[in-house]
């Protein structure tokens, strides 16, 4: 039985009911409770962003900058069907875009301005020269919001933590907020329901697994210059691994945590995932070519169970427009027998055809599975 057959029924029901399915997270309630108010005749719309702030924005947005919420350009294009209205994005977002399918589907992305970020810092004077109608930024950056307020720039905060690093719900929150901003809430709810239906099917199966049926998993969030960083609890890696049927060996650590090889030897993970924030590839571990670190005695390396997170429209580790696909891929990789029925290549092709109007080839799929080192660009 294919995923799409199951989710099509759920999505169809959601469209008929015109409502989001109930859930037990605060974020799900947020997507239902947040509403936009359009001021008749004023040409403005008031929305509530993820900081809880009411923001009055133009009803028609022609000049949008996406700053510190790096994955958002992919979600924006996914939701809008184009990059129309975007005039600037963060250089790190551009680096990912240039090594992804985002620029293939939306080539105009490469023309967007990135000059308002210098040495990783936002230059507000340079930003003001772009005359943005609004800036979308990371809601966690309170200093950035204060800078925009002081400069008289409209700013809408998008959160990565509103749902305790649940990537499906974070994706839902972003889609919901974009629906409010552009007055397209019905479209937003359809997309949200699809992601939640994927999650529901995965969790139905992985929640029934016993601990001894779950492999030990390590995420190498960043790895370079002699430093190894993993994803502990209270970060996206915990959600991914737990939801997909594994045990996060770094669960006792918090957030992005620095570790060493001695700790990795003690954990001896069965599976290792490397994010696209690192230029390290699985073959570097297999061939033991990283100076100062001996990976040859780690079970995941010995058994060739090291995987690079795919890169489609954006890196698949954080929330992105491909987030439902990322959960499927992780589940099939961590629990291949449980999810044997998932045709991952077919799911990716169907998703891209439906949401991006792109017909992927088998070669395209392999490129998504095997991103280049350069995709880790800063």
- Are 129 and 277 in the same domain? no
- What mean pLDDT comes out for the span 100-105? 92
Last residue of a domain, one of 264, 294, 309: 309
Instruction: Tell me the C-alpha distance between 146 and 142, whole Å.
Output: 6
- What mean pLDDT comes out for the span 17-31? 34
Indicate whether 12 pLDDT > 80: no
- Are 142 and 243 in the same domain? no
- What mean pLDDT comes out for the span 309-314? 95
DSSP secondary structure string for all residues of 136-187? EEETT-HHHHHHHHHHT--EEEE-SSTTTT-HHHHHHHHHHHHHHHHT-HHH
Confidence of residue 33 (pLDDT cuts 50, 70, 90): very low
Confidence of residue 372 (pLDDT cuts 50, 70, 90): confident
- Are 37 and 80 in the same domain? yes
- Are 181 and 254 in the same domain? no
Instruction: Tell me the C-alpha distance between 196 and 174, whole Å.
Output: 14
Last residue of a domain, one of 288, 309, 330: 309
Q: How many angstroms from the chain centroid is the CA of residue 247?
A: 21
- Are 91 and 191 in the same domain? yes
Counting the structural domains of the chain, the total is: 2
Tokens 């700013």, residue?
Answer: 155
Write out the residue range of the structural domain in which residue 241 sits.
Answer: 209-309
Question: Which of 294, 201, 215 is closest to 249 using CA atoms?
Answer: 215
Provide the pLDDT for residue 226.
Answer: 86
Is 16 a member of any domain? yes
Provide the pLDDT for residue 36.
Answer: 52
Provide the pLDDT for residue 3.
Answer: 53
Residue 341, classified by CB atoms within 10 Å of its CB into exposed (0-12), middle (13-18) or buried (19+), is exposed
- What mean pLDDT comes out for the span 87-115? 93
- Are 54 and 153 in the same domain? yes
- What mean pLDDT comes out for the span 331-346? 98
Indicate whether 354 pLDDT > 90: yes
Confidence of residue 37 (pLDDT cuts 50, 70, 90): low
Provide the pLDDT for residue 23.
Answer: 34
- Are 67 and 152 in the same domain? yes
Instruction: Tell me the C-alpha distance between 140 and 146, whole Å.
Output: 12
HSE-up (13 A, CA, CB side) for residue 168: 25
Q: How many angstroms from the chain centroid is the CA of residue 274?
A: 15
Instruction: Tell me the C-alpha distance between 251 and 66, whole Å.
Output: 32
- Are 185 and 80 in the same domain? yes
- Are 16 and 159 in the same domain? yes
Predicted confidence (pLDDT) per residue in 221-277, tens digit: 999 888 999 999 999 999 999 999 999 999 999 999 999 999 999 999 999 999 999
* Structural contact between residues 334 and 271, judged by C-beta atoms closer than 8 angstroms: yes
Question: Which of 83, 155, 156 is closest to 124 using CA atoms?
Answer: 155
Is the Cα dihedral 310, 312, 317, 323 positive or negative? negative
- What mean pLDDT comes out for the span 293-316? 97
- Are 44 and 123 in the same domain? yes
Provide the pLDDT for residue 95.
Answer: 87
Provide the pLDDT for residue 99.
Answer: 86
Question: Which of 276, 272, 226, 282 is closest to 248 using CA atoms?
Answer: 272
Is 337 a member of any domain? no
- Are 275 and 168 in the same domain? no
* Structural contact between residues 316 and 368, judged by C-beta atoms closer than 8 angstroms: no
- What mean pLDDT comes out for the span 95-115? 93
Confidence of residue 118 (pLDDT cuts 50, 70, 90): very high
Provide the pLDDT for residue 374.
Answer: 79
């Amino acid at each position: 039985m294919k995923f799409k057959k199951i989710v099509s029924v759920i999505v169809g029901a959601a469209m008929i009911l015109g409502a989001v399915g109930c859930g037990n997270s605060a974020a799900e309630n947020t997507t239902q409770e947040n509403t936009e108010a359009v001021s008749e005749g004023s040409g403005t719309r008031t929305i509530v962003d993820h900081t809880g702030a009411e923001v009055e924005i133009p009803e028609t947005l022609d000049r949008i900058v996406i700053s510190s919420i790096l994955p958002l350009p992919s979600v924006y294009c996914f939701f809008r069907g184009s990059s129309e209205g975007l005039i600037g994005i963060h250089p790190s977002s551009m680096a990912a875009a240039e090594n992804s399918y985002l620029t293939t589907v939306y080539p105009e992305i490469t023309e967007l301005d990135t000059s308002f970020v210098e040495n990783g810092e936002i230059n507000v004077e340079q930003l003001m020269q772009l005359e943005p109608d609004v800036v979308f930024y990371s809601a966690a950056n309170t200093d950035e919001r204060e800078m925009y307020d002081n400069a008289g720039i409209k700013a809408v905060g998008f959160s990565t933590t509103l749902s305790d690093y649940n990537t499906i719900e974070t994706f839902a929150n972003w889609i919901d907020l974009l629906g409010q901003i552009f007055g397209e809430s019905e479209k937003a709810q359809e997309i949200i329901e699809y992601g939640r239906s994927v999650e529901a099917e995965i969790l139905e199966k992985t929640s029934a697994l016993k601990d001894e049926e779950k492999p030990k998993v390590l995420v190498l969030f960043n790895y370079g210059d002699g430093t190894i960083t993993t994803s502990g609890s209270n970060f996206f890696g915990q959600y991914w691994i737990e939801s997909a049927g594994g045990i996060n060996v770094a669960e006792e650590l918090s957030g992005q945590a620095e570790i060493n090889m001695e700790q990795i030897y003690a954990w001896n993970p069965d599976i290792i995932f490397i994010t696209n924030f690192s230029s390290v590839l699985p073959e570097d571990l297999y061939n033991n070519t990283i100076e100062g670190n001996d990976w040859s005695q780690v079970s995941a390396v010995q058994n060739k169970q090291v995987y690079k997170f795919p890169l489609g429209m954006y890196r698949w580790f954080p929330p992105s427009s491909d987030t439902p696909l990322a959960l499927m891929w992780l589940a099939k990789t961590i629990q291949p027998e449980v999810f044997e029925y998932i045709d991952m290549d077919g799911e990716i092709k169907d998703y891209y055809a439906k949401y991006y109007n792109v017909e992927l080839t088998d070669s395209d799929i392999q490129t998504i599975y095997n991103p280049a080192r350069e995709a880790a660009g800063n």
